[in-house]
Chain A
């Protein structure tokens, strides 16, 4: 069973701090990873994708991938109350029909004003 695991949280950080969200995956063959943000009552929206080892930055967001250790992380700099949401980590795994995206259960983030 290929899995993506996340701490469910909640993770609480003060406004302006760095929020660090972590994710581990079981399929060593996974090559592509994604972070989605889901506000309460809304559908998930793609924040970032990462395909190579190392860091990828987009504005206040930095995704980090370490394939040797099988973990993915998302850093949110200068956290804002509007960042409060559930963050879903997802990995792309091979399946019988081709590829399948495996979603983690999500980490709830609260940014305190």
Chain B
């Protein structure tokens, strides 16, 4: 497995502002993912972040709203831009290891007021 940390663990932000979430892994990984999870709901994939290439976004998510950086094989950031209350959610990063198994970070709980 892998040890994954996320910062911040939670934040309360005002609408119209932006928040950058950091994801750090203790080993080099090729595939990293960013998910969103509303309370009581399942995981929604936002984008796949591979080192050295542009992130691949899922339908309904755009780079202007959720810019992602992947500067190296152990780190990635997700920015939630121009936030609205609808962006309130838990944001999770994950990494893919052997045989497509995914391991998740602890999550960032975001509340937009």
Contacts and interface: CB of A to CB of B under 8 A. Distances in A.
A62 interface: no
A42 B109 CA distance: 11
B56 A88 contact: no
Contact of B99 (A43, A51, A88): A51
Interface residues of A, number: 20
A49 B101 contact: yes
A66 B38 CA distance: 31
Contacts of B99: 32, 49, 51
Q: Does more than half of chain A's interface fall in helix, strand or loop, or is it mixed?
A: strand
A92 B100 contact: yes
A30 to B, nearest CB: 11
Interface string B80-102: 00000000000010000001111
A23 B103 CA distance: 21
Interface stretch (B13-21, B40-48, B64-72): B40-48
A97 B103 CA distance: 20
Given A34-B102, A44-B104, A45-B104, A97 B41 contact: no
B66 to A, nearest CB: 17
Nearest to B43: A103
8 contacts: A32-B100, A44-B43, A44-B92, A46-B101, A88-B42, A90-B102, A103-B42, A105-B42
